Amino acid sequence: MEKSILYDTTLRDGMQGENIFFSSEDKVKIARRLDEAGIHYIEGGWPGSNPGAQHFFEMAKDMEFKNAKIAAFGSTRRQGKPVDKDANIQALLDSQAPVITIFGKSWDLHVESIMQNTKKENLAMIKESIAYLLSHGREVFYDAEHFFDGYKANPDYALKTLEAAVEGGTKCLILCDTNGGSLPCEIDTITRKTIEYFRSDLQVKKNSLSDLIFGIHTHNDCAMAVANSITAVHAGVTMVQGTINGYGERCGNADLTSIIPILALKMGRDCISNENLEKLQNLSRFISETANVPPVNSRAFVGKSAFAHKGGVHVSAIMKNPRAYEHISPELVGNKRRVIVSEQAGKSNIEYKAKELGVDLDKNGVAGHQIATSIKELEDYGFEFDAAEGSLKLIMEKLTDQFVPHFELESFRVVIEKDKERPCYSHAMIKIRVGNKTEITSAEGDGPVSALDNALRKALATMFPKINDMHLVDFKVRVIDGMDGTDAKVRVLIESRDENNIFSTIGVSEDIIEASWQALADSFQYKLSLDNKNKAK
């Protein structure tokens, strides 16, 4: 089985993406998770470029890693400057990272027009920098920046830059599609020609290249980063660089959450254990949450929708054999199969979803098609249950006469006050009935929904103390049809979580407070039903 080496650059290249930021402490947590997931190399940043990167390496030097080595990233020495006097080179050594990845220019356009350098000096910068770093006992990788564009413009010189790196002593050449503009057919041709060039008898004899390996580093400007990385592996490269979730500058980098399962499951490469592969979705979500960037539901393999089925024909088929509409088992990457109930749903969707949510359709003789009809009517009104499975479960229980409310609303009143001295101020008074007992409470909040949430929580906490484990984590309002202006219906989606679960609920009304109450009340009802279920176990 051929081996593929995984090199993660989320903590450096990924941070160059718009709205992506990790503190030094965040980077330490991410590095631990990457190590636990079986990544071989973790690039921690450019220690010569900013204090945050230097701080990370100070913390990382005392950390123990089971699978990964930490790499520091930087450039070759500056033109016209002795390598032993170059501050950036010295910062790479001072980082104490066991691995150093340096980049140099492979495209003569950059050498002459951007750097205003000579081709000869550029080659010397590459060779001398690598030799100097190796002389200090570090493992050194060479990133050939803009290699594919450089090869297309001047193949002889692009190859000479790689030769300079090999003469400097590196055992790993990473071919970079830095502008992200190359196509898979170009990646394949250029990668094969480059590897063949260095495997030729002359080069092997000249440079002792028996243990030289190649890597690939691609960007996603043509939406080809993953395809180009996989193509390069097929063409002979061993190391694959990328970021978790494809974070990176402009359109991003190659997404390791797609590359890893493709290598392991589709190409049979030795790169990650089955146990670590199952951690992939959790790793993706952890880094997404740490970056404070919403996860992309449609992301391949690890996205919430990657194994979601909505059409009735699809659902009917996967109930018989999941392979009919799934290219792999979702559990292999830590994901799960989801069946979505919506206006496109059929009887099969309802039956599958009811079983998944623990609703017994046979209990009161309500047929799946009757529930499907009712849900389609609600969705026609504006509900969207594929985004609110908590409310869907409650609706199914109501339609089958299995719903037992933990509380019932008698009334609520919300007062919003504003004066010139301070921002809006909200106060809610709520009256609910729990069994034969009536509770009347009031609370303040930063807004009307916050005030209602606080009042309801206060009313329920004495009887259901675990209600305080639940927290609202997201609140979305969508105008369903803007043609009616301020009289338009709105859809409110609330996402809540407790120690073990994340769940979403929904409300729809012409009144935003009413819609918010529906979603809020459902979130509390669903949470209490989960607690009852856990008690029963």
The per-residue pLDDT for range 91-133, each reduced to its tens digit, is: 999 999 999 999 999 999 999 999 999 999 999 999 999 999 9
CATH class, range 408-536 = alpha beta
Could you tell me the two tokens for 309?
């089925």
Q: What gap in Å lies between CA 78 and CA 100, rounded to an integer?
A: 17
The residue that leads in pLDDT, 413 or 316, is 413
Nearest to 513 by CA among 409, 385, 379, 396: 409
**Share above pLDDT 90 across residues of the chain, in percent, rounded to a whole number:** 66
Sign of torsion over alpha carbons 442, 443, 447, 452: negative
Q: What gap in Å lies between CA 144 and CA 218, rounded to an integer?
A: 11
Q: What gap in Å lies between CA 408 and CA 389, rounded to an integer?
A: 21
Could you tell me the two tokens for 418?
């504003």
528, 406 in Cβ contact below 8 A? yes
Q: What gap in Å lies between CA 514 and CA 377, rounded to an integer?
A: 19
Q: How far is CA 457 from the centre of its chain?
A: 33
pLDDT at 536: 57
Q: What gap in Å lies between CA 136 and CA 434, rounded to an integer?
A: 72
| 259 has pLDDT over 70 | yes
Cα Rg of the chain (Å, integer) = 29
Average pLDDT over residues 1-9: 95
| 345 has pLDDT over 60 | no
Pick the CATH number of 5-272 from 3.40.50.10540, 1.10.1380.10, 3.20.20.70, 3.30.470.20: 3.20.20.70
Largest CA distance in the chain: 91
Domain parsing of the chain, residue ranges: 5-272, 308-397, 408-536
Least confident of 25-34, 320-329, 498-507, 512-521: 498-507
**Within this chain, domains 5-272 and 408-536 share the same CATH topology:** no
Specify whether the backbone of 494 is left (phi greater than 0), alpha (psi in -120 to 50) or beta.
beta
Q: Are strands 408-419 and 490-497 parallel, antiparallel or unpaired?
A: unpaired
Give the type of residue at 381: Y
Number of C-beta neighbours around residue 105 at 10 A: 27
The residue that leads in pLDDT, 316 or 455, is 455
Lookup result for tokens 């008690």 = 535
